[in-house]
Chain A
């Protein structure tokens, strides 16, 4: 091997060390960049040269810049990301309806219901007492007010969730298009495009957070992205997602297909999936309340009409309720609210002052389990409040579980692809030392050449 050859070998060593320092510099500067996967230099010994039966090494060659990744773990992380976003959105959204069921004091909807029947119980002891009649009307107004406010609150919550769903797609279609374009670009570089893969992974992470997604990587580094079991990105092609109202005026989520569009509302995960699940649950609470209000007002009105007020007149309506949005419309009948003496407590027109036959029948409705599906009115409302509480508590537990799972997978995933500044500092020292060593060899070789030239 010649001295000139040693110069070349040293130069290659300097180049490899410089490449290492360059990659370390790239890693350190991207230590906090979302989606960045650490790089490393893959180098190997160059093929030796045989001269006169002796094999001379040619130094080092930089083969490629490796991007740390794990396709399987990456796919699991994407799924966990969607699960966490789903649980987070659901937990957050269910706090709103729960807020309308204030059960910390005695002002909850169940207490208001009981208070109404308690007021009638009090009136039974002294049915001619005007203040007790007034008390029944006030308690009825209090209960109707709570039912109405709760229903309006739930309705607002649903409207808010609909708006979130309608605006929630946001940049998803753009992101899907970019993922497809990046797929093409990565394919064009035969999978050797670490920066583009970083960008793609970051976009997949964002889409997974919004919609939940399943990512599949093939051997060539191409990504197929599924949402609700439907491929929304495949190679360089992306589908379009859209939100439109269905026949009932409820916002639904669709994905474009070759033959029209496919509804995926009940299949998506991520933040929008959580919003959709919260909307369904909130709508369920409202439906229960509407059914309750309709049955409650119907039963009370029917029984009240069977009684007679102190003047001998037959009872009118006790509550007013609309056919649509029943709970929100529940009110004490305006005439009764203005004149509690219209309470029809007696069982006969010619009854005496102490006749409470109809009042007793009205009171019995409080415990009547045949009016509502699911027990007495107290039971139905208590079950509703417990269901709201269970759903919120379950969502909270699910969020903790999903976050813990995401955190564990995140730690595992980052342990493979994340940049560790201490590790980079050590590598910097290694490459720096290698560079200095190569420089020293180079200087020695140069000195030798100078010595030869000086002879």
Chain B
């Protein structure tokens, strides 16, 4: 049998109190910060997963931001092309009107300036920008897409944005393809002006056909942009969903469960008080007090 000695009670009490204090301080820290990982040693294995999740979440945040920005750029581009379509429709109606036999050659000549106005408006639309980013300048979007004479200043590369893992969407347009592809809309307006000046009704008829082809050309690009906008929207939805999942998992890994933490805190405080009382009572009960 092990011989029990009185000083052992104090030694054991001191050791137990020290351990309990250490455990208490850890639980108190969890309760105060609300975090289950306050330093690497709290959960070194979980930490690696937290790092991976944070990195993956940061990617999703960036892709969400890119998708939103892509949607904005694509929407602005589509809006500009919508205006181009409207302007071409207006030019077409004007051309139809000018074909009327009620117009004299002189009237047609005086209306030739409208063709120049259409042309200038189209160039203005082709130079649409958002915060200095020219939508139809290809990847050279730092400068205007077309100079005042209608010469293309951009390039043929279409910029894109990453909106997911191995997923990109085009966020601009090659202006030379949109406005000067199969049909050169500026040249069509030039032809309209020339036909009006020269009272060339056959020429006006040809312009009508060119305007229709130009509208088809623009609509084709709008359809393409719409496809990219759909990809961006889908990517945004996926990214947002993944951020929620990653966020929940990170919370599970790093957030201290309040109920469990406070229960543990109460248990530790109880055992700490009990140990204190045992040591204090042991100190009072000495045989020397009785003799």
Contacts and interface: CB of A to CB of B under 8 A. Distances in A.
Bound pair (A, B): yes
Contact of B138 (A104, A352, A387): A352
Contact of B40 (A355, A378, A392, A415): A392
A104 B65 contact: no
Nearest to A31: B7
B120 interface: no
A352 B139 contact: yes
B38 to A, nearest CB: 5
A421 B208 CA distance: 118
B44 A415 contact: no
B38 A104 contact: yes
Nearest to A115: B58
Contacts, number: 157
A420 B4 contact: yes
**How big is the B interface, by class?**
35 or more
Contact of B7 (A32, A115, A400, A416): A32
A125 to B, nearest CB: 5
A422 interface: yes
Contacts of B159: 354
Nearest to A384: B40
Interface in A373-417: 378, 382-383, 385-393, 396, 400, 403, 407, 410-412, 414-416
B48 A125 contact: no
Nearest to B38: A104
Contacts of A114: 54-55, 58
A411 B11 contact: yes
B238 to A, nearest CB: 17
A400 B18 CA distance: 11
A263 B40 CA distance: 34
Contacts of B288: 421, 425
A327 interface: no
A423 interface: yes
A125 B65 contact: yes
B59 interface: yes
Contacts of A244: none
B142 A415 contact: no
A121 interface: yes
A378 B7 contact: no
B175 to A, nearest CB: 13
Residue among B55, B143, B162 with most chain A CB within 10 A: B55
Interface in B112-170: 132-133, 138-143, 154-155, 157, 159, 161-162
Given A125-B66, A126-B69, A403-B15, A386 B44 contact: yes
Interface residues of A, number: 56
Interface in B198-251: none
Contacts of B2: 411-412, 415
A386 B42 CA distance: 10
A110 interface: yes
B5 interface: yes
B267 to A, nearest CB: 18
Interface in A418-436: 418-423, 425-426, 428-429
A111 interface: yes
B39 interface: yes
Contact of A388 (B40, B51, B291): B40
Interface centre among B7, B41, B55, B172 (most CB of A within 10 A): B41
B134 to A, nearest CB: 9
* Interface SS of chain A: helix
B111 interface: no
A199 B159 CA distance: 84
Contact of A386 (B40, B66, B139, B161): B40
B85 to A, nearest CB: 26
Interface in A102-127: 102-104, 106, 110-111, 114-115, 118, 121-122, 124-126
A101 interface: yes
Nearest to A422: B287
A421 B39 contact: no
Contacts of B69: 125-126
Nearest to B58: A118
A136 to B, nearest CB: 13
B80 to A, nearest CB: 18
Contacts of B55: 110, 114, 378
A124 B65 CA distance: 12
B216 to A, nearest CB: 28
A364 interface: no
B233 to A, nearest CB: 16
A407 B141 CA distance: 75
B43 interface: yes
A175 interface: no
A111 B47 contact: no
A408 to B, nearest CB: 10
Given A124-B162, A425-B288, A354 B39 contact: no
B206 to A, nearest CB: 36
B7 A419 contact: yes
Contact of B44 (A126, A353, A389, A426): A389
Interface in B30-47: 33, 35, 37-45, 47
6 closest Cβ pairs, A-B complex: A389-B40, A389-B44, A354-B139, A353-B142, A392-B41, A352-B140
Interface of A: 31-32, 98-99, 101-104, 106, 110-111, 114-115, 118, 121-122, 124-126, 128, 352-355, 378, 382-383, 385-393, 396, 400, 403, 407, 410-412, 414-416, 418-423, 425-426, 428-429
Given A128-B132, A389-B42, A428-B291, 14 more contacts: A98-B39, A99-B39, A103-B37, A110-B54, A118-B62, A122-B65, A125-B162, A352-B142, A353-B141, A385-B51, A391-B41, A392-B41, A410-B11, A423-B5
